[in-house]
Structure 1
Amino acid sequence: MTTERATPSLSLAADAAATYAEWFATLSDPTRVRLLHAVSTSRSGALRVGDLAVALGISQSTCSHHVRRLVDVGFVTVDKVGTSSVVSVNPACCTGLPHAADVVMGTLAEAPCCPEDLPVDVSTRAMRLEDMAAVREIYAAGIATRNATFETEVPSVEELWAKWLPQHRWVAELDAAVVGWASVSAVSARECYAGVGETSVYVAPGAQGRGVGRSLLHRQVTEADALGLWTLQTSIFPENRASVALHHSAGFQTLAVRSRIARLDGGWRDTVLLERRRTTD
């Protein structure tokens, strides 16, 4: 799936409108919506056609028909594993489809900050040097997934501390332990870009699903707004659907899916470029 960024003052191009119409038309059938949701939310991101049919309460032939329609527009892919057809979600759809809706409807008049229903057992505070052992350990776990960063080794404490803006380094605590961190780095030394930052958010594997990322992103965004940063940007692997969704909830918008932007472990990888603009001067 390919997308283009809309400019409010320009009309939507006919070819883009035709593409988006085809996407929306494909999802006009509730069975296909349920099917796409089932695959997207499965633990592995892939399900056999037979298992999908059982889960949706439809025949396997009907399921195969709807899968083909989703394949035609690129929402899913199908691979043969032995005698089974395995349906996988196309990661680009996780950004392309929401972005298409943004393009059609125009940009939001006021971007959301973050969900206010933050977990009561997670606290955030400014990062201290004594936190860096835990921070680097969490970073190492993220690097090991190969779906968080192009880094292959954890930088030194000195490198990280110098890279992150002093007023924009945060940690999250759960049960008195550091379980996540967030930071903002300058994108340029030029004065005109002083308010533009590159963001990172990492959560320890054992603390995921507890609202730690949501709490960190809330702190990061609200403090950035208060301390004069007018643009936050980040790049996320499209396979990291949870992170893309989290950033969308905080007012980040998809700018582009950058195909084959860099190599990791010898293979080309795509990234999703997202941006959040402060709504006040």
Structure 2
Amino acid sequence: MTSVVPVPLAGLLPEQEAATYAGWFACLAEPMRVKLLHAVATSPRGLTVGALTEILGTSQSTCSHHVRKLAEVGFLHLRKEGTATVVTINQSCCSGLPHAADAVMGLLAPRPCCPDNVPDDVIVRPMADGDEETLRRISGEGAAAEFDVQGLPDHRWVAEYEGEVVGWAVAAPISSRACHQGVAEAFVRVAESHRGRGVGKALIHKQVTEADAAGIRTLQTSVFTDDRASLALYRSAGYRTVGIRERIARRGDVWHDTIFLERRTEVDR
């Protein structure tokens, strides 16, 4: 009879994390709640309980019950507008779902090195002094200093399309301390007029492959919880969700949550 030798675990999930994820998954075990969550997630302005009742084809009391359960766990936000209850998605909680799945499954699935289908008509070259004005325009007044951070000299790139600079990427050290050598923060920005053409793919492909070649062991970045395009771009380059940072980034007069992501070199994954 063959004996089975237990394989040592890399480390159990902390009790608090396990309890949180279990609560999320248990709440979503009811199909009606999954449909309800999908309806709200695909309605950026939110839906009233009355509208959700019609969409789901159920009674208002049943709909209200499921809304309350999803709100208790943290998937939904509720607010009053007159006599109506408006239901909106909690971007932080929902964006954390992929991380929860990764954590529970032990990150067994290999992550990609970089995005596929990089366009041939986008040229990525080193950043030059004459690019400054264009980069400021792409970044916008509120983020104009971002490309001016102390980027690593060999990791400052611009993307050109038909001779026009349409995006930039920078990898900057997170600290001057010796213990943080080999860890950099990644920035990628694309001109609004050229989004959806693969400019971001070309930039991030260059950024991560050059970082790997230079021995940068970790790249990290943050995106707003509602910025699905950026989230998809970074994940296509092997980034994983580490967690949610609450009320950490400002847009106008409002503080927002961000998703914190990181990418490790192949040897460190």
Under TM normalisation by the shorter chain, which class is it? Answer: 0.7 to 0.9
Distance 2:126 2:48 in 1: 46
Shift of 1:184: 0.5
- Where does structure 2 lack aligned partners over 5 or more consecutive residues? 1-8
TM-score, normalised to structure 2, is: 0.80
Q: What per-residue deviation string (whole Å, max 9, x for no partner) do you get for residues 72-96 of structure 1? A: 2111112223444322211212432
TM-score, normalised to structure 1, is: 0.77
Distance 2:236 2:133 in 1: 30
C-alpha contact (below 8 Å) 1:230/1:277 kept by paired residues = yes
Change (3 A) 1:114 1:156: closer
Q: Does 1:155 align with 2:155?
A: no
Q: Does 1:115 align with 2:76?
A: no
C-alpha contact (below 8 Å) 2:139/2:146 kept by paired residues = no
Specify the alignment match of 1:101 in structure 2.
101
Give the length in aligned residue pairs: 259
Q: What letter corresponds to residue 128 of structure 2 in structure 1? A: R
Distance 1:131 1:60 in 2: 60
Q: What letter corresponds to residue 33 of structure 2 in structure 1? A: R
Shift of 1:230: 0.9
Shift of 1:103: 1.2
Aligned counterpart in structure 1 of residue 207 of structure 2, from 201, 220, 223? 220
Distance 1:197 1:262 in 2: 19
Distance 1:51 1:212 in 2: 39
- Where does structure 1 lack aligned partners over 5 or more consecutive residues? 1-7, 144-150
Change (3 A) 1:37 1:210: farther
1:167-178 aligned within 5 A: 167-178=154-165
Shift of 1:244: 3.1
Shift of 1:113: 2.1
1:123-134 aligned within 5 A: 123-134=123-134
Q: What letter corresponds to residue 28 of structure 1 in structure 2? A: A
C-alpha contact (below 8 Å) 1:231/1:275 kept by paired residues = yes
Q: What per-residue deviation string (whole Å, max 9, x for no partner) do you get for residues 55-80 of structure 1? A: x4524625444322321211111222
C-alpha contact (below 8 Å) 1:111/1:279 kept by paired residues = no
Q: What letter corresponds to residue 72 of structure 1 in structure 2? A: E
Distance 2:93 2:68 in 1: 16
Q: What letter corresponds to residue 272 of structure 1 in structure 2? A: I
Q: What letter corresponds to residue 163 of structure 1 in structure 2? A: Q
Distance 1:190 1:243 in 2: 29
Q: Which moved more, 1:226-235 or 1:30-39?
A: 30-39
Distance 1:67 1:37 in 2: 12
3-state DSSP of counterpart to 2:140: helix
Rg larger for: 2
Shift of 1:137: 0.8
Change (3 A) 1:167 1:48: farther
Shift of 1:121: 4.7
Q: What per-residue deviation string (whole Å, max 9, x for no partner) do you get for residues 40-59 of structure 1? A: 344x35334444455x4524
Distance 1:108 1:124 in 2: 33
Q: Does 1:248 align with 2:235?
A: yes
Specify the alignment match of 1:273 in structure 2.
260
Specify the alignment match of 1:258 in structure 2.
245
C-alpha contact (below 8 Å) 2:220/2:260 kept by paired residues = yes
3-state DSSP of counterpart to 1:178: strand
Q: Does 1:17 align with 2:7?
A: no
C-alpha contact (below 8 Å) 1:45/1:89 kept by paired residues = no
3-state DSSP of counterpart to 2:156: strand
C-alpha contact (below 8 Å) 1:26/1:70 kept by paired residues = yes
Q: What per-residue deviation string (whole Å, max 9, x for no partner) do you get for residues 204-228 of structure 1? A: 2233333332332222112211222
Q: Which moved more, 1:95-104 or 1:57-66?
A: 57-66
Change (3 A) 1:274 1:137: same
C-alpha contact (below 8 Å) 2:78/2:85 kept by paired residues = yes
Q: Does 1:74 align with 2:74?
A: yes
RMSD of the alignment, in Å?
Answer: 3.1
